[in-house]
Copies of this chain bind each other. A is one copy, B any other.
């Protein structure tokens, strides 16, 4: 733990700064203060602001990829397993460390390449989802609707009510269980 968790603490602190104060206030000073270390210490771990944001994105991408892969692997039914995994993890697990999503906001703000790991991730998932044994367009719509929820929340445009969210979740999962039409 000791060795690695320090860097994670910093990433978490950076996310919190973005979440609390917005992207423009994601500064090295603020991050260091939030993480309880000095600016010098922060720069020891992440030698530039860009490296810090890169770290946020990579951490997020790795976590997410692993979760969904595990979920898909443990699904007893082959047909639709990737779609279900995507829906399940995004609805139920990703919200627990939602603050990590703020890494995306930061990445979008800092530079365009820093989003590369995310683009690759979604490109891979899209491929799995389209070859998942269910109608690829329907599968894509399920994916897009799922994205719609978390992107709306991330952007602070529309926050779906909990009961409505559950109803949407159920319907999307039902669709993911129907065979090819």
Contact = CB atoms under 8 A, between A and B. Distances in A.
A89 to B, nearest CB: 16
A98 interface: no
Interface string A126-159: 1000000000011011011111110110011110
A164 interface: yes
A94 interface: no
Interface residues of A, number: 39
A141 B108 contact: no
Nearest to A165: B140
B137 A167 contact: yes
B112 A157 contact: no
DSSP majority for the A interface?
helix
Given A104-B155, A109-B109, A115-B156, A164 B148 contact: no
A23 B108 contact: yes
A168 B137 contact: yes
Interface stretch (A2-10, A68-76, A77-85, A116-124): A116-124
Contacts of A115: 155-157
A122 B155 CA distance: 12
A169 to B, nearest CB: 10
Contacts of A144: 144-149, 152, 168
B108 A138 contact: no
Contact of A155 (B108, B138, B143, B167): B108
User: Lowest 8 A-B CB distances belong to which pairs?
Assistant: A144-B148, A151-B151, A147-B148, A148-B148, A144-B145, A145-B145, A122-B158, A23-B109
